[in-house]
Amino acid sequence: MTVTDGAITAPEETLALPAGPVIANRPLGVFTRPQGNEGWKSWLFTVDHKRIGVMYGAAAMFFFLVGGAEALFIRLQLATPDGSVIGAGTYNGVFTMHGVTMIFLVAMPMAAAFANYLLPLQIGARDVAFPRLNAFSFWCFLAGGLLLTSSMLIGGWFQNVPDGGWFNYAPNSGVLFSPHKGIDFYAVGLQITGIASLVSSINLIVTVLNMRTKGMSLFRMPVLTWMLLITQFLLLFAIPVITVALFLLMFDRLWDANFFNVAAGADPLLWQHLFWIFGHPEVYILVLPAFGIVSEIIPTFSRKPLFGYHFMVASGIAIGFMGWGVWAHHMFTSGIGPLAVAAFSVSTMFIAVPTGVKILNWLGTMYGGRLRFTTPMLYAVGVVSMFTIGGLSGVTHSIAPSDTQQTDTYYIVAHFHYVIFGGIILGLFGGLHFWWPKIFGYMLDEGWGKAAFWVILIGFNFTFGPMHILGLQGMSRRIATYRADEGFAFWNMVATIGAFVIAIGVAMLLWNIYKSTRDWRRAGRPDVGPDPWDARALEWMTASPTPEHNFDSEIEVEGLDEFWHRKYGKDETGRVVRAAPTSEVAHDGSNTKVHLPSPSYWPIVLGGGILLVGYGLIYNLWLAAAGVVLLVASIYGWILEPPDDPEAAGHDEDGHDDGDGHGDADSNGDSAEAEEEAATVG
């Protein structure tokens, strides 16, 4: 690599559109686009991928606290034998909602937060391909999440809550066995969040495939972008499968269909197959974004490029493909026959290989590096260490005969919490600390951040480590209590104490956010600079917080880690030297002459329509009809509103382009999104 002395002193080329003719007759009322980028309304109507990402993250943190509170109730109930903190019925609802919340309303949207915020930045784009659809994805997700969560309150505390487990096996999910409305909430709510995931996945796939900046070939994309792209493909194919299953379940429950009615000849294994064909790729949907985040953090704080970039990408793709061939390992005891068990046992074993490759590549990155253990780095190394434990216990499950002893015991609970908490949540928290300065323009306090990490890590291991032992000692999952003479009391008490230690750690993390924000304001909001960590990818090449238009000018990419190579080069002796100051390389966000998609009223209205349809399906079809009216109306509004609004903030005096909308299509095509957007609503 040669020294890139191409510090950008002037914008290479502005992205402003030529002024069009002024339209005399402007559409009225709701058929104009909303204006302004300040105040709470601007958040409701925003189509800015960064704000949408922040809202995804905030919603996910809210649901994380809900799911965490549920977890604490689970641990209180199980702390002692014959526990009676919450009854068996409530317990079933609580553990079901804990699983559903943490998977669908925390891990998925928190990954979506990073995907929305970072993916366009990392490929040098100005926004996603379909900004209004992106906003709709968020509101639709929030509608589904609120609908699901409201089941805990509607009709009394935990009276109508889903109580069939997150896996919701038939026929226990039928009206006969679960007569209250809880599982209706599950079936409808998850279909709604599924719509959100599906729309978002298509949007992000198109964004990555079509909107990369000049020179950003696929193999110059950061690993996070790669992992997010693979995740979106997994979502694209997995969500329809669960949607089919939920659709059948909804018809069974609401309109007396017989898809899972054994008395009418149904085979309950149908649900299991449909659920796990979705459910296992779902594991990789959750974990690949976290792997991507770790792959960004470790090189930054090792001061080295990622070890084996191509192998990291290839192993991600391999996981993406192999993830479809292992689902029946959740069904080793369901009676699928020895041949099927043998096939899935072997396929499951070998999916450990690409995962192991990732772990070793991270260690390879750290080897020989200059390791700086900042808070994000602690979380990332925590993932390497903790995920390895989850991966090893995963291999022991693939040994099918042994799995007949382990499945549905606390050994499994331990395993997937090491994967989901130790791998995914730690990774996402690492990402939170890493990109916080980029998103908000100030650092989180390192002292509190590190302290919170250690408390969470220790609490985590004391909570879930003992569960390995409990499982091997024969404690089943999903039992509301256990007998005193079964010998489970000691480790359960340890696990409960550990869970409260995690809660303290999370409280420290939240306190850190509050304190850092307060200190930053008191200090007069000092500028953190574009690149506080000396990082590598393009998102660090613009101001912090990211200006609404992302980059002042189009970036031409010449290689992997473009930003880093603009900062550093090699001298004659091959030694790495500073090529240009960061302040010269990075954009300062001063270019306001950038054409941006305008906010829109309709995504949130459409989400509201879907929410009404959801409640209507559960309670009253007239309400659903009203929801359909709102839904159709908002689709029309979406179509009929003008493609752009010249007065919207972030725009400039030359932006009178509504009505004609013919921007000059750049090679990367991102300025043509108004037309793309208008063309896709149909």
Partner 1 sequence: MSKRPMALVWLSSLLVIAGTIALIVVAIVVDDNHPLSTLSPVGRHGREIAELINPIFIVAGVVFFLVQGAVLALWWRFRVAGSDAGDGEFGYYEDDEFPEQVHGNNRLEVAWTLIPTVLLAVISVFTLIALFALEDVEASDEDMVVTVIGQQWWWEYQYHLDGNTDTAPDFVAANELVIPVGVDVPLDIKSRDVIHAFWIPKLNGKKDAVPGRSHDWVIQAEETGTFRGQCTEFCGLSHGYMKMVAVALTAEEFAEWRDNQITAADMPEEGTAEHAGWEVFSQQCASCHVVNGVTSPANRGGDPESAPDNWDIYGEFNGVYAGTYLETDTLVAGAAPNLTHLMTRGTFAGSIFDLYLNAGAHIPYLELAEKGTLNRGELEAWIYNAPERKPADADNLRGMPARTGLSPDDVDNVVAFLSTLD
Positions in 464-483 near partner 1 (CB under 8 A)? 465, 469, 472-483
Q: Which of 8, 352, 678, 681 forms a contact with partner 1 (CB under 8 A)?
A: 352
Going from the C-alpha of 677 to that of each of 130, 133, 208, 673, 682, the distances in angstroms are: 6, 8, 16, 6, 10
Per CB under 8 A, does 307 bind partner 1? Answer: yes
Residues 174-233 that bind partner 1 (CB under 8 A): 176-179
Provide the 10 A C-beta neighbour count for residue 241.
20
Least distance to partner 1 from the beta carbon of 75, Å? 15
Residues 151-170 that bind partner 1 (CB under 8 A): 163-165, 169
Question: Contact letters (x/-) for partner 1, 105-144, by CB under 8 A?
Answer: ----------------------------------------
Residue number, 313 or 612, with CB nearest to partner 1? 313
Residues 405-434 that bind partner 1 (CB under 8 A): 405-409
Per CB under 8 A, does 245 bind partner 1? Answer: no
Residues 602-641 that bind partner 1 (CB under 8 A): none
Q: Which two tokens stand for residue 180?
A: 């209250």
Beta bridge partners of 611: none
Residues 7-46 that bind partner 1 (CB under 8 A): none
Least distance to partner 1 from the beta carbon of 469, Å? 6
SS3 218: helix
Question: Helix/strand/coil (H, E, C) string of 519-554?
Answer: HHHHCCCCCCCCCCCCCCCHHHHCCCCCCCCCCCCC
Question: Helix/strand/coil (H, E, C) string of 89-124?
Answer: HHHHHHHHHHHHHHHHHHHHHHHHHHHHHHHHHHCC
As to burial, measured by CB atoms within 10 angstroms (0-12 exposed, 13-18 middle, 19+ buried), residue 538 is buried
Per CB under 8 A, does 524 bind partner 1? Answer: no
Sign of the Cα torsion 394, 397, 339, 273 reads: negative
Per CB under 8 A, does 383 bind partner 1? Answer: no
Number of residues that bind partner 1 (CB under 8 A): 114
Q: Which of 108, 266, 322, 502 forms a contact with partner 1 (CB under 8 A)?
A: 266
Residues 362-381 that bind partner 1 (CB under 8 A): 363-364, 366-374, 381
Per CB under 8 A, does 268 bind partner 1? Answer: yes
Please state the separation of Cα 261 from the chain's center in Å. 35
Per CB under 8 A, does 492 bind partner 1? Answer: no
Q: Which two tokens stand for residue 591?
A: 């270019």
Of 51-59, 106-114, 297-305, 508-516, the window that binds partner 1 (rule: CB under 8 A) is 297-305
Is 594 in contact with 605 (CB distance < 8 Å)?
no
Q: Which of 42, 334, 553, 592 forms a contact with partner 1 (CB under 8 A)?
A: 334
Residue number, 30 or 349, with CB nearest to partner 1? 349
Euclidean distance between the first and the last CA atom of the chain, given in angstroms as a whole number: 47
Of 87-95, 139-147, 210-218, 250-258, the window that binds partner 1 (rule: CB under 8 A) is 87-95
Question: Contact letters (x/-) for partner 1, 547-576, by CB under 8 A?
Answer: ---------------------x------xx
SS3 673: helix
Per CB under 8 A, does 484 bind partner 1? Answer: no
Per CB under 8 A, does 525 bind partner 1? Answer: no
Q: Which of 308, 325, 637, 669 forms a contact with partner 1 (CB under 8 A)?
A: 308
Strands 568-570 and 576-578: antiparallel
- Alpha carbons 612 and 513: distance in angstroms, whole number: 35
